[in-house]
Structure formats: C-alpha cells, structure tokens
C-alpha cells in the first residue's frame, strides 16, 4: 500500500496472550508507518508475552489493558465507537471462547459486547494445532463468524510447542494485505432487491402447501450488503428484525410476483438477488372455510407462474443484473431456463447450518467460483456486486 492511495483508518489492535504475540508488535509498527491511527489493548495474558512500552513507543498513545483502569472507565465503549476497524491479533483460545459466550469480564470481552457489527471485526487465531481443531474452538469460531466476525484462519506449519499443524498465526504482512483489501473504498453503493424465504399456497382457510426455506440465505446477504453501504430492499416470507432496511413480506406466489413486479417497475435496481423458494404448484381450487378431515382428499395442483422469467420485462432498469439461486436435490441441474447473469447452485445435502457448499456460474453457464460456507458465499456475492475480483 503506497502512501498516495492509502485509506487511513482508526485501528483498534487487541492482543492476546500467545507465544505469537510478538508479531503484534511488528504489525503495530507497520500500521503506524502506513499512517493509520492505532490504539492498542493488551489482554492480561498478553502482558506476560509483550510489554506496553513497545506499543506505546510506536503509537505514542497509552496502551489499554484493564476494564477498570483509572481515567479510562468508559474505554470499553469509547474505543469501540472510535475505531473504524477492530483486530484481535493474535487471538487466544481463551478469549475466543469468552467472546463466543458473551463474557465481559475483560476489556476485550466488554468491547466485543459493545460491538454493533457495523464495521469490520477481524480475528486471527494462534494456538497449538490440537487446541485449534478442538470441537469447542471450531464451534466458537463458527458462532463468531455467523455473527459477522471475519476469521483469518491460521496457517499450517511448525508451531512453537514443537508440533506441526494448523494453528500458526498469519504473518503481519498477510494481515495487512487482508486489511488493505477490506479498507479499499468500495465503488458507489448499489441498489439491491433481495427475495428470500418460501411461498405458502393455501389449501383452505387454515392449511397451506409450503417448503422448508428458512430465509437465512437472503437474510445473511441483505445484512452483509446493507452493512457494506448498499441500499437493500428485502422481500421475504416473514418480516425480520431489520430496522434500517426496507422490508416487504409475501405469502403466495401471486402475492410474491405482484410485489416484485411493483418494486421493479417503480424503482430502478442495479441488482436482483433471487433467493426465495417459490412454489412450482398451487392448489387449483382453494376451499372456503376448513376442509373436514374425515374422508380422503385429492388435491388438484396446477403450475404457478414462472416469476424469474418475467423480471426483466418488469424491470425499469433494463440493465438489471440478476443473481439467482438454484437448489437441487442432486447434482443434475438444468440451467437453460435461467436468464441470469449469475447462478448460484447448491445441492440440498451440502447445505446445513453454516456449511453451504456450492458453485457460482456466469451467464455462459461456466463455473466461476466455489464456496464451502455461507460466509464464503456472501463474500463472493459482495465481490460480484462491487465488481472486484473475488
């Protein structure tokens, strides 16, 4: 990063008690050299490995440590609000566990609870390979990632304990590179319409045919893109707790289609992300009242309208970019009917919780990117939208 194109930031560098803590001194030095403002928090553990003098020397600022340090009583809120980006480098197993469980008995723990996920929070774990592989550690990391923390996975290699394996802290240079990438100014914010959740087709006044879609994918994308400064409207089957986002809810396929049509016709969107699970069939004749359950019942189903094939006709912006999701129960899939710039294909058996394996195809139906988790997928979609190389 040269001085001429740098994007100067206020960086909160938090350091844990790890044998790799000395690398945080090098990172701090580089951040200051690049012109960033840096505040440092040393955990109780960290103070056994590195001294405040080095950090204070580089930053020319008093180093923070205790939750109850005199004259800094509100540091656990003030530092969080001050920072543009928050780093935990290196992150110990102990602190990762505390953060994942909402423990606020340390300055780093309290700062994390005051974090509102409206700016980057990066964690770089460092530990023995067995500690890193431990199910408790892996669950904690997944939890943090789900909440919006970026985990910078350790590398494989020789560890200070004499063992070899995963758990080696990423080098300061790699940390800087990731940071630079994240801090690069994004292009102009995009206007994005996201559909999510599943339709319900009524059988009678109290019953419906629906599907297992949770709306999680659309929700996660909406959250990430909104936090990155884009203008997002979410059309979903159930209203969620988003406050700063336009939301609409739908029930049936026709209802969904009408609302989508109205939005696309009246506003100019740059992107449509179609993650909703729309019914292929609906009941031909919906019963008034409640069908009595004594006798066998035959339902006649008829195909619903193919919404995705109509969106371009509806769209005010004739250059609308469409990103659609295609879920299949096996690897066989037909993409011909998809008039989309990007198709995100996933198989049912590969989608469970945070695990979300799949492939992103371009307009020519060539596979372009693969992902293994929901966060990898949302990162790729963000890169596509922002026109940067994933």
Task: Give catalytic residue positions.
Answer: 161
- By CB under 6 A, what part of segment 341-380 binds ligand FMN? none
* 140 part of the interface to ligand FMN, by CB under 6 A: no
User: What is the 8-class DSSP label of residue 299?
Assistant: -
Q: Which stretch binds ligand FMN (CB under 6 A): 76-84, 87-95, 304-312, 355-363?
A: 87-95
d(CA 160, CA 70): 36
Residues near 334 by beta carbon (within 8 Å), at least 6 away in sequence: none
Instruction: Please tell me the count of residues contacting ligand FMN according to CB under 6 A.
Output: 15
Is the CB of 66 or the CB of 390 nearer to ligand FMN? 66
User: Would you give the binding string for ligand FMN spanning residues 118-137, x where CB under 6 A is met?
Assistant: --------xx----------
The residue written with tokens 């994240």 in the block is 182
Q: 44, 84, 255, 347: which one contacts ligand FMN (CB under 6 A)? A: 44
Quick check: 257 binds ligand FMN (CB under 6 A)? Answer: no
Give the residue, chosen from 14, 43, 200, 213, that forms a contact with ligand FMN under the rule CB under 6 A. 43
Cβ 11 to ligand FMN, closest distance in Å?
19
The residue within the footprint of ligand FMN, chosen from 17, 120, 197, 198 (CB under 6 A), is 17
Q: How far is the CB of 20 from ligand FMN (least distance, A)?
A: 6
Stretch that binds ligand FMN, among 11-19, 115-123, 345-353, 381-389 (CB under 6 A): 11-19
Q: Is 86 helix (H, G, I), strand (E, B) or coil?
A: strand
In whole angstroms, how close is the CB of 173 to ligand FMN at the nearest point? 19
Q: Quick check: 40 binds ligand FMN (CB under 6 A)?
A: no
Residue 321 host element (H or E): strand 321-328
Strand 246-249 vs strand 155-158: parallel, antiparallel, or unpaired?
A: unpaired
Beta carbon of residue 168, minimum distance to ligand FMN (angstroms, whole number): 9
User: Is 133 in a helix, a strand, or coil?
Assistant: helix
Q: Which stretch binds ligand FMN (CB under 6 A): 13-21, 196-204, 246-254, 329-337?
A: 13-21
Kindly write out the interface string for residues 90-109 of this chain, putting x where it contacts ligand FMN by CB under 6 A and - elsewhere: --xxxx--------------
Closest CA to 110 of 69, 170, 168: 69
Eight-class DSSP state of 198: B
Q: Does 20 bind ligand FMN (CB under 6 A)?
A: yes
| Beta partners for residue 373, in sequence order | 355
Select 38 or 127, whichever has its Cβ closest to ligand FMN: 127
Of positions 12, 13, 16, 226, contacts ligand FMN by CB under 6 A: 16
CA distance 355 to 147: 15
Nearer to ligand FMN, 24 or 260 (CB): 24
Q: Which is nearer to ligand FMN, 46 or 377 (CB)?
A: 46
Outline where DSSP puts E strands in 128-277: 150-151, 155-158, 164-168, 191-196, 201-202, 208-209, 231-236, 246-249, 271-274
CB of 14 to ligand FMN, least distance (A): 9
Measured CA distances, 223 to 106, 216, 226, 234 (Å): 29, 10, 5, 10
Toward ligand FMN, which CB reaches closer, 49 or 219?
A: 49
Q: How many residues does the chain have?
A: 390
Pairing of strands 85-91, 208-209: unpaired
Given the complex with ligand FMN, which of 15 and 32 has the nearer CB atom? Answer: 15
Q: How far is the CB of 86 from ligand FMN (least distance, A)?
A: 16
Q: Distance between CA 193 and CA 100 in Å, rounded?
A: 32
Read off φ and ψ for residue 23, nearest 5 degrees. Answer: -70, -20
Q: Helix crossing, 52-59 with 22-33: angle to 10°?
A: 10
Tokens, residue 294: 């004594």
Cα(247)–Cα(66) distance, rounded to whole angstroms?
A: 42
Give the nearest distance from C-beta 167 to ligand FMN in angstroms: 8
Minimum distance, C-beta of residue 53 to ligand FMN, in the bound complex (Å): 18
Which residue lies nearest ligand FMN, judged by its C-beta? Answer: 45
Which residues make up the interface to ligand FMN (CB under 6 A)?
A: 16-20, 43-46, 92-95, 126-127
């Amino acid at each position: 990063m040269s001085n001429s194109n740098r994007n100067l930031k206020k960086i909160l560098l938090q350091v844990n008690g790890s044998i790799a803590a000395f690398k945080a001194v090098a990172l701090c030095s580089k951040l200051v050299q690049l012109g960033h403002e840096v505040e440092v928090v040393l955990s109780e553990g960290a103070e056994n490995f590195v001294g405040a003098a080095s950090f204070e020397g580089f930053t020319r600022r008093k180093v923070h440590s205790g939750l109850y340090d005199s004259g800094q009583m509100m540091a656990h809120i003030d530092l969080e609000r001050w920072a543009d980006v928050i780093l935990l480098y290196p992150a110990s197993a102990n602190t990762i566990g505390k953060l994942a469980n909402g423990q606020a008995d340390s300055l780093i723990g309290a700062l994390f609870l005051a974090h509102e996920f409206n700016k980057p929070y990066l964690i770089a774990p460092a530990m023995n390979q067995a500690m890193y592989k431990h199910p408790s550690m892996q669950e904690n990391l997944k939890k943090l990632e789900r909440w919006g923390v970026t985990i910078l996975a350790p590398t494989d290699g020789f560890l200070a304990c004499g063992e070899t394996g995963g758990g080696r802290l990423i080098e300061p240079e790699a940390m800087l590179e990731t940071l630079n990438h994240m801090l690069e100014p994004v292009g102009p914010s995009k206007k994005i319409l996201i559909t999510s959740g599943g339709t319900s087709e009524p059988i009678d006044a109290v019953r419906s045919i629906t599907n297992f879609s949770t709306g999680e994918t659309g929700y996660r994308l909406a959250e990430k893109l909104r936090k990155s400064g884009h203008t997002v409207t979410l059309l979903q089957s159930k209203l969620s707790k988003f406050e700063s986002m336009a939301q609409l809810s739908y029930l049936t396929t026709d209802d969904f289609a009408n609302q989508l049509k109205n939005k696309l016709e009246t506003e100019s969107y740059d992107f449509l992300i179609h993650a909703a699970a729309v019914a292929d069939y609906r009941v031909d004749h919906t019963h008034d009242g409640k069908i009595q359950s004594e006798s066998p019942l035959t339902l006649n189903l008829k195909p619903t309208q193919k919404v995705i094939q109509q969106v371009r006709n509806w769209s005010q912006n004739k250059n609308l970019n469409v990103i659609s999701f295609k879920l299949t129960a096996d690897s066989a899939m037909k993409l011909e009917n998809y008039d989309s710039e990007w198709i995100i294909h996933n198989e049912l058996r590969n989608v469970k919780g945070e695990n979300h394996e799949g492939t992103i195809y371009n307009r020519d139906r060539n596979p372009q990117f693969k992902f293994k988790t929901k966060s990898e997928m949302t990162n790729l979609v963000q890169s596509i939208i922002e026109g940067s190389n994933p």
